[in-house]
Structure 1
Amino acid sequence: MKKEEVPQDKSSLSKNKITEVCYAVDENGNYTQVASKGWEPKTIVQNETLHVIEERIAEANENVKNGIASPIPYFMELHKMDLTILSDYTGYWKWRIKRHFKPKVFNKLSQKALKKYANAFDISVDELKNFSGS
């Protein structure tokens, strides 16, 4: 792409006057860095992704409210984590974390286990234990 062809569409970045760096070919045929305000297709994909994440957070919240799941999946979604990431933060195997999704199992977790989750989610143990859906 040529330097003058770098997209300058409105995006969520442009609200904050943030630009992203793109590489383009200048008039001498050399690659150069060019600031871009955004690109409409990329903005559409980002907005759709955020919408999907918001839906997953809302669903996890409802599952906590209805007693179907513990707060762990809610906070995972809220912090955009998956089982692998949470496993890395806590040191628990993925199957064990899935087991902690069950309210009966979650309610029996030790303070030490709760502390690991609370640290991973950057909240207090009390917030984690007492979360019943927002």
Structure 2
Amino acid sequence: MKKENVPQDLGALGKITKEVCYATDSSGKYVTELSNGWEVKTEALNVAWKDVEERIAKARQQVLNGEASPLLFFMEYRLMDIGILSDYTGYWKWQINRHLKPEKFNRLSAKKLQKYADAFNVKVGELKTMTVHEA
């Protein structure tokens, strides 16, 4: 892409920051150019976030139906998988799989619940009730 053709569509972060793109100058050499965004990229990100929001809603419903523990909701909300949560908490993946079952989650000690709450950056009460307070 030529330097003068770098998209300047106002993206999601266009008013806050600019994105660095690589383009070719008039002599054909690669240079960096700042872009406010690109409509195609913004639309793709919107589709991706819609999918994330649907996964969060589905996880919330599974918890409310008693099919999963609140860990599933927060894993979706924080864009984590079992491997990432394992790294944050120090629990083995098989332990987290067990804790995803409501009956096992409800018997976790305060210390274990606190470890999960810390990983999700919430309080234990918020963990149990799927309450999210973003600043």
TM-score (norm 1): 0.89
Report if the CA contact (8 A) 1:57-1:74 is conserved. Answer: yes
Q: Partners of 1:61 and 1:133 in 2: how far apart?
A: 11
What is aligned with 2:66?
67
Deviation at 1:29, TM superposition (A): 2.6
Indicate if the aligned counterparts of 1:61 and 1:133 stay in contact, CA closer than 8 A: no
Residue 3 of structure 2 aligns with which residue? Answer: 3
1:128 aligned residue: 127
Instruction: Give the % identical residues.
Output: 55
Distance 1:58 1:109, change over 3 A: same
1:81 and 2:80 are equivalent in the alignment: yes
d(CA) in 1 for partners of 2:131, 2:97: 19
Give the match for residue 38 of structure 2. Answer: 39
Gaps of 5+ in 2: none
**Distance apart, 1:132 and its partner CA:** 5.7
Mapped partners of 2:86, 2:16: distance in 1: 36
Kindly state the Cα deviation for residue 18 of structure 1 after the two structures are TM-superposed.
2.2
For residues 5-64 of structure 1, the C-alpha deviation after alignment (integer angstroms, 9 at most, x for no partner) is 1112232122x3421000111123322211111122211211111000000111111112
Take 2:78 and 2:24, find their aligned partners in 1: how far apart are those partners?
A: 38
Structure 1 position 48 matched with structure 2 position 47: yes
Moved over 4 A (4+): none
- Matched positions, count: 132
**Matches of 1:133 and 1:91, distance apart in 2:** 24
Aligned to 2:111: 112
Deviations 1:52-79 (A, max 9, x none): 0000111111112222211101011111
How far is 1:98 from its partner? 1.4
**RMSD of aligned residue pairs (Cα, Å):** 1.7
Separation in structure 2 between the aligned mates of residue 132 and residue 9 of structure 1, nearest angstrom: 37
AA at the equivalent of 1:54: E
| Superposition TM-score, scaled by structure 2 size | 0.89
Q: Structure 1 unaligned segments of length 5 or more: list them.
A: none
